[in-house]
């Protein structure tokens, strides 16, 4: 667990890291296999993979079960979405305890009212800054492994404006958070202004269709960002691919025409390292036979 956390700490000081989003364990494995240095376990993606919108409808134990399996399946650092900490500062204590057990390398905690909404939905409500400072302090004091990265997120841009959101993140960083995150800035100029005013707010969220423009990684790095999450690209790709195959199957009675555009049987098995499991099976069955 600590090794992955140390890896994430090193990434914070080594330029800009892209952390694609994963909505299940298999997607996280694919992120690692693609050569990325970190993976983001998107709360919204996990909600949608369970048939819900990103409205904070899943329980703490549902989320930690998913995080534990993911951390066990990959060797790269896992950055998790802790939403609001599932309540007030007392709930944050329990959330941090449970998140540490999963092996995730870091997580972000936001200042929305619980239950939260996707940071790019309308109608978000924000808790007072003083309440969020208390929640950050609770997270920092509860953390046992000092390598665990605590990321403080503010969703105040929509209701209070950019400067207020930056001020909030600065207060959360002063309370002990390791990295700041202003959610949903609305232009490249706003992205640049965030790190100009608060260099520690070096975490950003990039995906097509949200309120923040999809700025290329080299420009984000030049602005001073250290980690960018790309939460929904893999999920949107999977949704569209599945819809296309299903439409073809329904129309033609076969998906044969799609075979050149989808993973082969071998691709599927390589993704989950079937050959390794087969080797273990052969090894231990042989030992049993000789006993």
User: Which residues are identified as catalytic?
Assistant: 40, 54, 81, 83, 108, 110, 118, 153, 183, 205
Helices and strands, number each (H, E), in the chain = 13, 8
Tell me how far the alpha carbon of residue 142 is from its chain's centroid.
21
Three-class SS of residue 272?
A: coil
Dist. CA 151–CA 13, nearest whole Å = 15
Dist. CA 112–CA 129, nearest whole Å = 10
**DSSP characters over 168-233:** HHHHHHHTT-SEEEE----SHHHHHHHHHH-TT--EEE--TTSSS----HHHHHHHT--EEEE-SH
Whose structure tokens read 């950050």? Answer: 136
Strands 78-81 and 227-230 turn out to be: unpaired
CA distances, 84 to each of 99, 101, 194, 278 (Å):
13, 18, 22, 42
First to last CA, the chain: 36
77 Cβ contact partners less than 8 Å away, ≥ 6 residues apart: 4, 5, 7, 8, 11, 37, 38, 39, 105, 106
Dist. CA 250–CA 245, nearest whole Å = 9
Dist. CA 54–CA 47, nearest whole Å = 6
Integer-rounded Cα Rg, in Å, for the chain is: 20
| Angle of CA points 49, 55, 19, to nearest 5° | 60
């Amino acid at each position: 667990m600590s090794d992955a956390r140390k890896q994430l700490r090193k990434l914070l000081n080594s330029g800009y890291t892209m952390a694609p989003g994963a909505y299940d364990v298999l997607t996280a494995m694919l992120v690692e296999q693609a050569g990325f240095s970190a993976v983001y376990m998107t709360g919204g993606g996990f909600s949608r993979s369970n048939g819900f919108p990103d409205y904070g409808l899943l329980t703490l134990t549902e989320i930690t079960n998913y995080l534990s399996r993911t951390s066990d399946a990959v060797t790269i650092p896992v950055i998790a979405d802790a939403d609001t900490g599932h309540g007030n500062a007392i709930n944050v204590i329990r959330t941090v305890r449970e998140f540490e057990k999963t092996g995730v390398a870091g997580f972000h905690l936001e200042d929305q009212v619980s239950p939260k909404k996707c940071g790019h939905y309308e109608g978000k409500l924000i808790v007072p800054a003083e309440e969020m400072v208390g929640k950050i302090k609770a997270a920092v004091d509860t953390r046992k492994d000092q390598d665990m990265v605590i990321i403080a997120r503010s969703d105040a841009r929509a209701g209070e404006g950019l400067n207020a959101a930056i001020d909030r993140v600065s207060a959360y960083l002063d309370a002990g958070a390791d990295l700041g995150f202003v959610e949903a800035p609305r232009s490249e100029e706003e992205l640049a202004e965030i790190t100009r005013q608060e260099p520690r707010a070096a975490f950003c969220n990039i995906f097509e269709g949200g309120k923040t423009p999809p700025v290329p990684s080299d420009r984000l790095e030049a602005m001073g960002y250290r980690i960018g999450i790309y939460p929904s690209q893999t999920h949107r790709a999977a949704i569209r691919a599945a819809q296309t195959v299903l439409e073809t199957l329904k129309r033609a009675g076969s998906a044969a025409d799609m075979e050149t555009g989808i993973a082969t049987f071998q691709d599927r098995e390589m993704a989950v390292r079937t050959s390794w499991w087969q080797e273990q099976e052969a090894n231990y069955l042989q030992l049993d036979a000789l006993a």
